């Protein structure tokens, strides 16, 4: 995918949102899948088809499991069909019930995994600097019904693990982590996957290391690992027809495992490209008023999977949503994360209509954060073009807002005139 051949010259009238042509012909997605060596993957697929062993913990799943143990440094890895089922099984294996404290600033699968187990997710506010659950806000949410804390390593940047661990120990709560963003990341030199009772990873197609669909739980607790292995395979124990536990089907297929092996072989290349993109975004966006890039701790291991901006509308002269609208018109499909916050989604907005009163930072962040395209589908010229456009938008924010408003009014006038001509309104 190539950026426009034009130089970095933008004109107000030529913005696509005002009727001009998009600067990119192809849409630039956030989270376009990374794909490793396709030839090697096809070889593995042919081997799977020849073996006719398509699922049920075949050799490819077993190999990927061992590779992930080696990569994360965890003692046990249980592969799953997706990250949501992995969260559900982890919660059930931990025997959680009642209430579990979780951030609202996350993908809705996180509280859903609890809700589906008839566990009430109690939403906690986040730290405005890290975007992770704020340990200082947790204790006032603990009740006699609280059985656990589910932390989310947002953008792959680790939670304050030490404070969460201290709170969990003090109140005898189970602590586990949603590490959907955090494969390949470390905290104080130790890889994510070695903290709390367990860490759940996602290998969805949009994650930087994917298995098409997939997930895993990594834990250092052997007993917990044994329970999850039974639970993700209908409760079958050794031998035939030997059901010794209550379970469901959470297994990863051999095709997905083969994709995971292939992508794991290229994972450092993916990280290197993400880091290159991150460094360029950081340089290009550094001095744009009101545009603040989320920074990674480069002394730790990171996957640099997300390019996250906070838009300060007063300093930028334009709101986050207006910026997203302009970028979308140019085929830059920036995403609002995590909008509008899980507490504004069903069933939580009905169950907890006043939750926002305790979630001021979540409310603010959900109106400011956006994610920009990165990964192997993005090159340095594309990033230069995106950042040049953002700079131009901020420099001309007042005039662009006015022109967008006028364009909207003209469009609405034209619509009403059409309705009048059709005698649909008086």
**CATH code where residue 298 lies:** 3.90.1150.10
Q: Is residue 353 part of a domain?
A: no
**Residue 170 maps to a domain:** yes
Is the bond preceding residue 295 a cis peptide, omega within 30 degrees?
Answer: no
> In tens digits, what is the pLDDT along the chain, a chain of 426 residues?
333 334 467 888 899 999 999 999 999 999 889 999 999 999 999 999 999 999 999 999 999 999 999 999 999 999 999 999 999 999 999 999 999 999 999 999 999 999 999 999 999 999 999 999 999 999 999 999 999 999 999 999 999 999 999 999 999 999 999 999 999 999 999 999 999 999 999 999 999 999 999 999 999 999 999 999 999 999 999 988 999 999 999 999 999 999 999 999 999 999 999 999 999 999 999 999 999 999 999 999 999 999 999 999 999 999 999 999 999 999 999 999 999 999 999 999 999 999 999 999 999 999 999 999 999 999 999 999 999 999 999 999 889 988 888 876 555 445 445 545 555 554
Same domain flag for 231 and 308: no
Distance between CA atoms of residues 262 and 34, nearest Å: 11
Which domain covers residue 278, as residue numbers?
A: 12-30+268-334+373-415
Q: Using only C-alpha atoms, what is the Rg of the chain?
A: 24
Q: Which two tokens stand for residue 85?
A: 């089922």
268 token code pair:
């450092």
Residues 191 and 231 in one domain: yes
For residue 95, cis peptide bond before it (omega within 30 degrees of 0): no
Instruction: Indicate if 258 and 277 belong to the same structural domain.
Output: no
Residue corresponding to tokens 């913005």: 15
pLDDT confidence of residue 7: 46
Say yes or no: 129 and 258 in one domain.
yes
> Would you say residue 356 lies in a domain?
no
Are 283 and 388 within one domain? yes
Tally of domains in the chain:
2
255 with 314, same domain: the answer is no
Q: Are residues 206 and 316 in the same domain?
A: no
Could you give the 3-state DSSP secondary structure of residue 188?
A: coil
Question: Cα–Cα distance between 34 and 303 in angstroms, integer?
Answer: 13
- The answer to whether residue 98 is domain-embedded is yes
Domain stops at, among 224, 244, 265: 265
- Asked if residue 121 lies in contact with residue 100, where contact means CB atoms within 8 angstroms, the answer is yes
pTM of the model: 0.92
Phi/psi at 100 (nearest 5 deg)? Answer: -130, 130
> Strands 28-29 and 332-333: what pairing?
parallel
Would residue 2 count as lying in a domain? no
Secondary structure tally for the chain: helices H, strands E: 14, 15
Question: Of the residues 265, 297, 325, which one is the last residue of a structural domain?
Answer: 265
- Examine residue 380 and state whether it is found in any structural domain, yes or no: yes
CATH of the domain at 141: 3.40.640.10
Distances (CA, A) of 273 to 6, 41, 99: 25, 21, 41
- pLDDT for res 31: 84
* The last residue of a domain, from among 240, 265, 290: 265
Say what the alpha-carbon torsion angle 372, 373, 375, 379 is, to the nearest 10 degrees: -110
Q: What is the pLDDT of residue 424?
A: 53
In terms of domains, do 211 and 287 share one? no
Residue 340 forms part of a structural domain: no
SS3 73: coil
Residue 346 lies in a domain: no
Q: What is the pLDDT of residue 407?
A: 72
Residue-level pLDDT at 115? 97
What is d(CA 306, CA 115) in angstroms, rounded to the nearest whole number? 27
Say if residue 261 is in the same domain as residue 312: no
Give yes or no: residues 215 and 294 share one domain. Answer: no
Say whether both 55 and 166 belong to one domain. yes
Residues 210 and 317 in one domain: no
């Amino acid at each position: 995918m190539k950026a426009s051949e034009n130089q970095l010259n933008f004109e107000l009238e030529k913005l696509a949102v005002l009727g001009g042509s998009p600067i990119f012909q192809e849409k630039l997605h956030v989270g376009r899948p990374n794909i490793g060596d396709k030839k090697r993957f096809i070889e593995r697929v042919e081997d799977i088809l020849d073996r006719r062993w398509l699922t049920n913990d075949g050799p490819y799943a077993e190999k990927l499991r061992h590779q992930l143990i080696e990569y994360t440094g965890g003692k046990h890895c249980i592969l799953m069909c997706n990250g949501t089922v992995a969260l559900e099984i982890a919660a059930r294996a931990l025997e959680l019930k009642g209430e579990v404290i979780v951030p609202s600033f996350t993908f809705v699968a996180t509280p859903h995994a609890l809700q589906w187990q008839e566990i009430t997710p109690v939403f906690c506010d986040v730290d405005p600097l890290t975007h992770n659950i704020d340990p200082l806000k947790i204790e006032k949410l603990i009740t006699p019904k609280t059985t656990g804390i589910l932390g989310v390593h947002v953008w792959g940047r680790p939670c304050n693990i030490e404070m969460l661990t201290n709170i969990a120990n003090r109140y005898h709560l189970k602590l586990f982590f949603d590490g959907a963003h955090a494969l390949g990341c470390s905290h104080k030199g130790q890889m994510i996957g070695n903290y709390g009772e367990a860490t759940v990873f996602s290998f969805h197609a949009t994650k930087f290391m994917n298995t098409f669909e997939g997930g895993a739980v990594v834990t250092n607790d052997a007993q917990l690992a044994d329970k999850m292995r039974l639970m993700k395979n209908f409760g079958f124990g050794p031998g035939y027809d030997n059901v010794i536990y209550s379970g469901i089907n959470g297994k990863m297929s051999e095709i997905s495992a083969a994709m995971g092996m292939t992508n794991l072989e290229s994972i450092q290349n993916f990280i290197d490209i993400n880091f290159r993109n991150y460094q360029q975004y950081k340089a290009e966006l550094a001095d744009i008023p009101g545009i603040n890039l989320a920074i990674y701790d480069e002394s730790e291991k990171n996957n640099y999977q997300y390019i996250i901006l906070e838009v300060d509308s007063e300093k930028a002269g334009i709101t986050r949503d207006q910026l997203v609208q302009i970028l979308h018109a140019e085929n830059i499909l920036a995403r609002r994360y995590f909008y509008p916050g899980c507490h504004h989604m069903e069933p939580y907005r009905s169950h907890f209509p006043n939750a926002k009163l305790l979630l001021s930072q979540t409310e603010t962040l959900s109106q400011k954060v956006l994610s920009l395209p990165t990964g192997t589908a993005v090159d340095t010229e594309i990033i230069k073009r995106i950042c040049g456009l953002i700079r131009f938008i901020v420099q001309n924010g007042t005039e662009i807002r006015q022109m967008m408003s006028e364009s909207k009014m003209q469009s609405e006038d034209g619509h009403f005139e059409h309705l009048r001509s059709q005698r649909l309104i008086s």
